[in-house]
Amino acid sequence: MPILYEDVFNVTFAHSLRHNASLASPFTQVEQSLTPTRMSQPDAAVTPSPGPILVLVEPQDIVNIASVVRLGANFLVDGIRLVAPEVYDPYRIEGIAHNTADMVDRVEIYQTLDEAIRDCVHVIGLTARERAAKRRTIGPGEAAAELVERRATGPVALVAGRESKGLTNDELDLCHALVVIPTNPAYRSLNLAQALGIVAYEMWQARTGGRVRRKPPRHSAGPAPSELMERLFADWLNALSSVDFFKTRQPEYVMRSLREVFFRARLDEREAALIRAMGIEVGKYLERQQLGSTGPDQSNDE
């Protein structure tokens, strides 16, 4: 197991406390609260519902194909289908999109879009062009929700056209709806992988309900109790006084502001103990160097 900075701090800090009898009392709680406590095991990873099939019509750039393969792995799509690609080299694609061999193995090649979507119960096409024919156009979020809903009845596909000119009218006729991603009207066109990535993300959100699996902290700690917070403020009052921070300032007003800052931060017990330890060490360092000044009266009469 690698040695982390936090572990080194805990060991060295606790060691210094045990060898300084004069600090034993105020530091006891600090040392105890800095003792590591393992988190419970995290919940199982979020398992999304089945995903869509990504269909690229006559892709021209192998880098774009590789980028879509990476998206397929990122967002766990059902598969990728290429319609008459100008170039296709699985070895090069995996070299561009690292660690995607499983997704590359699931890439299928077709000669026409009609063949590629023959088994799909719902098909949505990506477009950025204004067209004369009336077609149902929806945004990425609505398209994602629609694809996820229809996926329960069979395979669904998200279709993107050529990098140079997108999908033809005949190809758009095969789509049940079109998704348009709002962009700057003066520069509508998105890169192929960018456009697919936006919709793939929206589908992932719809499939997982927006749940995100995040790694928990290494150590757990409850909220800092009032007793610890009051000790923290008292120790920092001493520390600030030792460095002659207040000068013409009123300590009472400064400490009140400091209280507000820490209360808004909602420190847990471990964080509060660490910050308190910093304040104590400031004062003790100055005492060892014989530089400290006597702090103000610490009675809290508010």
Taking only the tens place, the pLDDT of each residue in 10-32 is 443 444 444 444 444 445 555 55
Q: What pLDDT sits at residue 276? A: 94
- Give the per-residue pLDDT at 277: 95
Domains annotated on the chain, with CATH: 53-208 (3.40.1280.10), 221-302 (1.10.8)
CA dihedral (221, 225, 228, 234) positive or negative: positive
pLDDT of residue 42: 39
More confident residue, 105 or 287: 105
217-241 per-residue burial string, b: 16 or more CB within 10 A, e: under 16: eeeebeebeeebbebbbbbbbbbbb
- Residue 134 is predicted with a pLDDT of 79
10 Å Cβ neighbour count for 37? 12
Q: Does the reported pTM lie above 0.75?
A: no
Least reliable range by pLDDT among 21-30, 49-58, 66-75, 108-117:
21-30
Beta strands in 168-244 (DSSP E): 177-179
Beta bridge partners of 157: 53, 123
Q: Inform me whether the pLDDT recorded for 96 exceeds 90.
A: yes
